[in-house]
Structure 1
Amino acid sequence: MTNESIFLLGFIAFILIILALDLGLLNKKSDTVSMKQAGLMSFFVVALSMCFYFVLTHYGHLLHGIDSIEKLQEVISRHHHPVKIIPGDLGSSIYLYNQNLGLEYLTGYVVEYALSVDNIFVIVLVFTAFGVAPRNYHRVLFWGILGAIVMRFLFIFLGAALIHKFEWIMYVFGAFLVFTGIKMFFDKDNDDKIDTQKHPVVKFANRYFKVHNHFVGNKFFVKINGITKMTPLFLVLIIIEFTDLIFAVDSIPAIFSVTKDPYIVFFSNIFAIIGLRSMFFLLAGVIDKFRFLKIGLALLLTFIGLKMLFHEYLDRLGFSTTDSLFIIVGILGGSIFLSLVLPEHKKARKLKYNPKNDDHLRK
Structure 2
Amino acid sequence: MPDQNTTTCDRTGRCNNCHIGRYGDGCDMNCSTGCDAGCNRRTGRCTNNCIMGRYGNGCDNNCSIGCDAGCNRRTGRCTNCIMGRYGNGCDMNCSIGCDAGCDRGTGRCTNCILGRYGNGCGNNCSTGCDGGCDRDTGRCTNCIMGRYGNGCDMNCSKGCDSVCDRGTGRCTNCIMGQFGDGCDLNCSAGCDGGCDRSTGRCTNCRIGRYGYRCEMNCSTGCDGGCDRNDGKCTSCIEGTTGDRCDINCNNNCTICNQNNANSCTECIDGRWGPSCNKLCNTNCKQVEGTTVGKCDQMTGNCINGCVPGKIGSNCTTDCEAGRYGDNCDSKCGNCANKRPCDIITGGCGLVGCEDGFQGLVCKGKLHLHNFKENIICILYSFYLRLIISVYDYNTAS
Higher strand share: 2
Q: Give the TM bin, normalised by the shorter chain.
A: under 0.3
TM-score by length of 1: 0.15
Q: Which has the larger radius of gyration?
A: 2
Larger RCO of the pair (alpha carbons < 8 Å, separation 6+) = 1
Higher helix share: 1
